[in-house]
Amino acid sequence: MSMTMNEYIEEAEKDLLHTYNRFPIVFDRGEGVYLYDLDGKKYLDYVAGIGVFALGYGNKEYNDAVKAQVDKILHTSNYYYNVPAIEAAKLIKKYSGMDRVFFTNSGAEAIEGAIKTVRKYAYLKDGKTDHEIIAMEHSFHGRTMGALSITGTEKYRAPFEPGIGNIRFAKHNDIDSVKSLINDRTCAIITETIQGEGGIHPSDKAFLEELRKICDEKDILLVFDEIQCGMGRSGEMFAWQGYGVKPDVMTSAKALGCGVPVGAFMMTEKVGQNSLVAGDHGTTYGGNPLGGAAICAVFEQYEKLGVLDNVKEVSKYLYEKLDELTAKHSQIIDHRGVGFIQGLEFNCPVGDIINKALADGLVLINAGTNVIRIMPPLVIKKEHVDEMITILDKVLS
Ligand SMILES: *Cc1c(COP(=O)(O)O)cnc(C)c1O
């Protein structure tokens, strides 16, 4: 079967549930930091599959490691041990400083596990079932019921109420707002270290430090969602490492597998020893050998390619160039972010700009209606910054 791009799109709209307003493009393959559609048109990628393809496309050693695991064994079940998952857990512990790892298949599932962890921790302390979790306004944690219930954007939640209940929303970066919600039923505070979908809002250092202090004083668990901002995107392996504020529980996904769907939630030993036990939680596919092999290959390539150093270096240049663009175009009213998770806020919806950029061969995505999210693969070089700026400047002029 060989059809045109438009014919495929028509088929898709007949067969797939319409839960996305997709751009009218069928991507066919990738190479380095470029994507190609079915017609062979080339695009510079500044979305990276929404923060997934940290290594870009076609990293040979990563691909070979995944292929070798396909030929060896894909799945065994969590009733048995497998080497790739054991090695992947070791690497996650090494880079995160966390002590216990549970593997999932997605970010939302990692969040579900984190929620169960903090509830169980509190339950073991007092035997009660009325514990509250404080989450942040404008946060995003995923689409499953638990993750949705702690997501701060009301329009995502409204049609699906009631959620899991006992969730309170505080203002991100407003410590008084958090304090006003704390009571003796509060069992956890959760925040993205850098808010992604909500418009690229980094947490303030003082805010995270205050959260840590409150949590320590009251034995409340601090949970950082690093699904989007983690895995090197901020310039540190996990964004909280740049703040020097360590969570009790954290989540990862997206770039953790660089294309193979994996996620994880991790915790300190103290939480690990006082929360989920055998029978409390499980998954069929989570922690399968394929995912484990992918995670191991990702960390190996990060070391080999010096990914964190590249992010630190090239993101400074990216920041300067985006600042220049912001000064030049009055439609842009704010520029913020760190590393390769930056945002340009406009005084208007950004849909048209994204469409024009796509026509000119640049893949961009929004974060909320008025913010363009700048989220390239972590291996881009300065020349790719220049290429992006040239196209975006032209589109805005
Ligand atoms: C994408 C994302 C999720 C959800 O991950 P999925 O893999 O899509 O379920 C959760 N939290 C944050 C911060 C995200 O960016």
Tokens of 361: 């061969």
Atom 10 of ligand 1 has which residue's CA nearest to it? Answer: 141
User: Residue 179: how many CB atoms within 10 A of its CB?
Assistant: 12
In a domain, 277, yes or no: yes
| 65, part of any domain | no
Q: Are 341 and 233 in contact (CB under 8 A)?
A: yes
Same domain, 197 and 300: yes
Whether residue 316 sits in one domain with residue 285: no
Does the CB atom of residue 167 touch ligand 1 within 6 A? no
Do 301 and 326 sit in the same domain of this protein? Answer: no
**Domain with 183 in it: what CATH number?**
3.40.640.10
**Residue 66 counted as domain residue:** no
Using 50, 70 and 90 to split pLDDT, how confident is the model at 342? very high
Q: From the alpha carbon of 143, which atom of ligand 1 is closest?
A: 9
For atom 11 of ligand 1, the residue with the nearest CA is 141
Q: What is the CATH number of the domain that holds 338?
A: 3.90.1150.10
Residues 373-387: pLDDT tens digits? 999 999 999 999 999
Mean pLDDT of 179-203: 98
Counted domains in the chain: 2
pLDDT per residue over 216-274, tens digit each? Answer: 999 999 999 999 999 999 999 999 999 999 999 999 999 999 999 999 999 999 999 99
Q: Is 227 part of a structural domain of the chain?
A: yes
Among 305, 337, 362, where does a domain finish?
305
Residue 67 resides in a domain: no
Tell me the C-alpha distance between 57 and 374, whole Å. 18
| Contact between residue 214 and residue 178 where contact means Cβ atoms under 8 Å apart | yes
Could you tell me if 120 and 268 lie in one domain?
yes
Check whether residue 159 and residue 257 sit in a common domain: yes
- 303 burial type by CB count under 10 A (0-12 exposed, 13-18 middle, 19+ buried): exposed
Same domain, 275 and 300: yes
Angle, nearest 10°, between helix axes 60-72 and 289-305? 160
Q: Are residues 280 and 134 in the same domain?
A: yes
Same domain, 171 and 265: yes
Give the chain's mean pLDDT. 98
Residue 2: band (very low, low, confident or very high) from pLDDT cuts 50, 70, 90: confident
Quick one: 14 and 79 in the same domain? Answer: no
Which of 258, 286, 305 marks a domain boundary? 305
Candidate of 249, 254, 373 to mutate for ligand 1, largest count of ligand atoms within 8 Å of Cβ: 254
What are the tokens at 18?
A: 């319409």
Among 200, 227, 258, say which to mutate for ligand 1: greatest number of ligand atoms within 8 Å of CB. Answer: 227
Q: What is the pLDDT of residues 100-138, one digit of tens each?
A: 999 999 999 999 999 999 999 999 999 999 999 999 999
Average of pLDDT values for 89-94?
98
Single out the residue of 346, 324, 53, 314 nearest to residue 199, CA to CA.
346
Instruction: Assess whether 254 and 288 both reside in one domain.
Output: yes
Residues 211 and 324 in one domain: no
The answer to whether residue 68 is domain-embedded is no
Instruction: State the residue range of the domain holding 81.
Output: 73-305
Percent of the chain with pLDDT over 70: 100
C-alpha of residue 253 to centroid of ligand 1, in Å: 7
253 with 386, same domain? no
Say if CB 188 and CB 136 are below 8 A apart. Answer: no
Distance of alpha carbon 361 from alpha carbon 132, whole angstroms: 47
Position 122 in a domain: yes
Last residue of a domain, one of 305, 328, 361: 305
Q: What is the pLDDT of residue 1?
A: 60
HSE-CB of 330 using CA atoms within 13 angstroms? 0
- Phi, psi (degrees; rounded to nearest 5) at 303: -65, -50
Let me know: does 135 contact 168? Beta carbons within 8 Å.
yes
Q: Which residues on neighbouring strands pair with residue 281, listed in sequence order?
A: none
Distance 373 CA to ligand 1 centre (A): 15
Whether 152 contacts 198, CB under 8 Å: yes
113 lines ligand 1 (CB under 6 A): no
C-beta of 186 in contact with ligand 1 (< 6 A): no
Indicate whether 175 belongs to any domain. Answer: yes
